[in-house]
Amino acid sequence: MKSFSQSALVVVAAMFGAAQANWGWAHLNGTDGLNTQSCGTVCADTPYKVALPTPLANPARCCASVTIAYNGINTQGTYTDICTSCPTVNNGVDGNITLSQALWDKLNTGSDDTVFLTWNV
Ligand SMILES: *[C@@H]1O[C@H](CO)[C@@H](O)[C@H](O)[C@H]1NC(C)=O
Ligand SMILES: *[C@@H]1O[C@H](CO)[C@@H](O)[C@H](O)[C@H]1NC(C)=O
């Protein structure tokens, strides 16, 4: 049983490795100084929207699902917007993102106005 759970952990670790999660700080859409624009396509209507930094914006992925992990919460949104004012680091691999109010609310951030999370599109 012990060796089973250890190999299960290895499998889980490999899955997270393969997910190539990006990291960054998330802000609530509408925060002062943040600017977003459409990623180029009108996506299916959803309250769970994500704006990704300009250097990461790939028009081919517009409307793709974005997986977000924060503080034990795993959820998904839709890449609907480019965040033209969100900085990136690590040559554009990681960067800050902007979330719609409904998606932000799912993270139970309390009084924090920005939270560090991982995201993957
Ligand atoms: C991202 O957001 C955080 C929190 O607002 C900020 O301190 C940081 O400078 C921003 N930029 C990067 C590249 O993390
Ligand atoms: C942010 O708000 C603007 C204005 O309401 C909206 O057009 C845009 O789709 C929103 N983006 C996100 C990621 O919530």
For every residue of 27-87, DSSP letters joined together read: EETT-TT--EEE-SS-PPP-S-EEEEEGGG--GGGTT-EEEEEETTEEEEEEEEEEETT--
Ligand 2 mean position to 36 CA, how many Å? Answer: 7
Taking CA atoms only, the protein residue closest to ligand 1 atom 12 is 87
Residue pLDDT, tens place only, 74-117: 999 999 999 999 988 888 889 999 999 999 999 999 999 999 99
pTM here? Answer: 0.83
pLDDT band for position 47 (cuts 50, 70, 90): very high
On whether the 20-120 domain is CATH 2.40.40.10, my answer is yes
> 98 in ligand 2 pocket by Cβ < 6 Å?
yes
Q: Structural domain boundaries of the chain?
A: 20-120
Encoding tokens for residue 41? 């396509």
Atom of ligand 2 nearest to the CA of 49: 13
Atom of ligand 2 nearest to the CA of 100: 14
